[in-house]
A and B are shown apart, each in its own frame.
Chain A
Amino acid sequence: MKAAALALLLALASAAALAGAPKPALKIENPGQCIAPTEEMRKNHMEMLKHQRDRTLRQGIRGEKASLNGCIECHASKATGSVLGKGGFCQECHAYAAVKLDCWDCHQPKAGFKHAGAVGVKP
């Protein structure tokens, strides 16, 4: 009896979860151009970027296949220019998966960004 109740509860909970969290709506601006198949990118993009970042920064290896600037070239939204924000390629999926995204605390999330304002540290 207890097991049956638990199974029912689990079924209800998972049904609620399915209904409650809409799948991320991703728009790929340049489809079919990625450095690896979609499945591999979904599973391993963080590993690719982690190893690349260490090689680039610590050994000075440039022009690697995987790079954050390479990601945003294709994946930045054409509307906002960014991979963040509502519907942003990175943020949408990371919010769904509840995985903290801190690349963009330091890296520029907008493709081809150029700062046009004042230069230098102002008090």
Chain B
Amino acid sequence: MTEPQDKSRRKFVAGAAVAGAGLGVAALAPGLHLIEVAGAAPQAPRAAGEPAPSTVRWGMLIDTTKCATGCDKCVTACHTENGINETVQDVRQGSQWIRKIDLKDPKNGRTHSLPMMCQHCEKPPCVDVCPTGASMKRADGIVLVDRHICIGCRYCMMACPYKARSFVHQPLTAQNPEVPRGLGCVESCTFCVHRVDKGLQPACVEACPERAMLFGDLNDPTSEIAKRLAQEPATQVRADLKLNVGVRYKGI
């Protein structure tokens, strides 16, 4: 796999198929290989000095029919990747960038499980209410907190309909060098922006053993996520708020 980032995903997959055909069926037999390669690099890493493109809108499709009850590998992967490793005095104060929710329909007893995190709204209420402009949306649709100017008022936590944001109540010392976070600031899921900029997938997507999470560009009709959204029924949580969220759920 030499320099796959220089090609578009599509060309690369086509190239891999040709290479596989050249080697015979055995090379392609698991079929998994192609999926893994395609999943490993959804886009080329952005060149140094280039801003995030406004033509892209990052989004996620979560298949709740695949998501297993009791599995929290996405949460663990998020904690590892983003350095959420502190011991808190009060468990209610712990940071939750992503959490698992178990749902049960009381009428028929159907249960399902899903991960809930920042939904990366097109019109984010957290950005609307922020008094300093710290809560912001990047050109490619990723909603972030600029901790340099966050004053920790927590208005955005009140405004978020998804309870996606957390506040850091204590000094931290064991941050991941690529993920700065600290006392007195609000934080939430960043879609692993430091990984996305490198052409990688968010940690939770990569960690999901059921492959229930799919990350990609909602604006690109050739992307896997856009194709699946065009074919399969998927819903937005609290679609009535008309926030046009970036995270879509299938099967709820």
Contacts and interface: CB of A to CB of B under 8 A. Distances in A.
B76 A119 contact: yes
A106 B51 CA distance: 23
Interface string B17-46: 000000000000000000000000000001
A54 B136 CA distance: 12
Given A61-B51, A63-B49, A122 B88 contact: yes
B84 A120 contact: yes
Interface residues of A, number: 27
B197 interface: yes
B197 A122 contact: no
A106 B185 contact: yes
Interface stretch (A4-12, A21-29, A38-46, A107-115): A107-115
A106 B85 contact: no
Interface in B193-252: 193, 197-198
B139 A115 contact: no
Contacts of A62: 46, 48-49, 197-198
Interface in B35-67: 46-52
Interface stretch (B4-12, B106-114, B173-181): B173-181
Contacts, number: 101
A99 B233 CA distance: 57
Interface stretch (B90-98, B115-123, B155-163): B90-98
A117 interface: yes
B126 interface: no
Interface in A92-123: 105-108, 110, 112-113, 115, 117-123
Contacts of A123: 87-91, 94
